[in-house]
Amino acid sequence: MRYVERLPDPPGEAALAGSFAHRVLELLMQRDSHERTVEVAKVIARGEWPGIEADPDFQALGFDEAGGKHFRWKAWQAIEGLWALEDPKAVEVRATEHDVEADLGGVPFRGIVDRLDEEGDRLVVTDYKSGKAPSARFRRGRLDQVLLYAAAVEQATGEMPVHARLLYLGQRPVGIQVTREEIDSVVGKLAGTWAAINTACDTDEFEPRTGPLCGWCPYVDRCPEGTKEVAKRQAKKEAAAMYGGD
């Protein structure tokens, strides 16, 4: 819907709060290590806030005073959540918001790495997440993004990062040791997805893949299969509530 039909992505509160948290942490981690304190983060957040308030996406959310305060509080929870995961003063930062472009297995790839850290003389790819940390079952799949960043960093610098991690702010880190096998596997998966996208574009057939996330999809009203899926799940939930089954 977003990339093929070019339909606008409706602004989301969580995405905007996440962008605000990312921006504050980016500016914080650009400071000298001794300045990376909660107090400095508060000063940065106050300085960035007028920009968020003026953002058309923020205005489209139509918050009243209490809603705006709640949004600000949620975003601050994410920012402050960094200290639950690491001591920012102890991090050796090589770059923030690092733009990477590469050809990965024949696929044109571009990404922005939130942070490229150094552990001794080795590189670590770090990405912040302000959403809910995945359960054990879904953890590995979420790491594909940072493994692809690691592959792109290696291509650009000649150095293979030793570790790639997601910092779920205020919750926990989810990371993986970067190996040649992991990189080959994730690049192979990317090439497979790229081939499937190209086939879909050539044939103009885009098979909907319904599932539990349809309930959160901003395009569900335009998608008959997704609408059916949501109704089916809702009916199942209601039946379970009524009869006490699954």
Which one, 171 or 227, has the nearer CB to ligand SF4?
227
User: Going residue by residue from 168 to 207, which x/- string records binding to ligand SF4, judged by CB under 6 A?
Assistant: ----------------------------------------
* 3-state DSSP of 170-201: CCEEEEEECCHHHHHHHHHHHHHHHHHHHHHH
Strand, coil or helix: 214: helix
Residue 211 C-beta: closest distance to ligand SF4, Å: 7
What φ, ψ does residue 227 adopt, rounded to 5°? -60, -45
* Cα 143 from Cα 134, distance rounded (Å): 11
- Burial of 174 per CB tally in 10 Å (0-12, 13-18, 19+): buried
| Of 60-68, 125-133, 156-164, 212-220: span binding ligand SF4 (CB under 6 A) | 212-220
Interaction between residue 4 and ligand SF4 (CB under 6 A): no
Interaction between residue 130 and ligand SF4 (CB under 6 A): no
Interaction between residue 219 and ligand SF4 (CB under 6 A): yes
Interaction between residue 223 and ligand SF4 (CB under 6 A): yes
Partners of 123 in the beta sheet?
Answer: 118
| Of 9-17, 110-118, 123-131, 213-221: span binding ligand SF4 (CB under 6 A) | 213-221
Window 97-126: residues binding ligand SF4 (CB under 6 A): none
The helix-helix angle for 144-157 and 180-203 (nearest 10°) equals 100
Interaction between residue 208 and ligand SF4 (CB under 6 A): yes
Interaction between residue 225 and ligand SF4 (CB under 6 A): yes
Give yes or no for a contact between 147 and 113, defined as CB atoms under 8 angstroms apart. no
Strand, coil or helix: 204: coil
Which one, 156 or 213, has the nearer CB to ligand SF4?
213
Q: Whose CB is nearest to ligand SF4?
A: 226
Interaction between residue 214 and ligand SF4 (CB under 6 A): yes
Residue 143 C-beta: closest distance to ligand SF4, Å: 22
Q: DSSP labels for 103-164?
A: EETTEEEEEEEEEEEEETTEEEEEEEE-SPPPPHHHHHHHTHHHHHHHHHHHHHHS---SEE
> Any residues with CB less than 8 A from the CB of 77 and at least 6 apart, and which?
169, 170
Interaction between residue 131 and ligand SF4 (CB under 6 A): no
Residue 110 C-beta: closest distance to ligand SF4, Å: 24
Binding site for ligand SF4 (CB under 6 A): 1, 208-210, 213-214, 217, 219-220, 223, 225-226
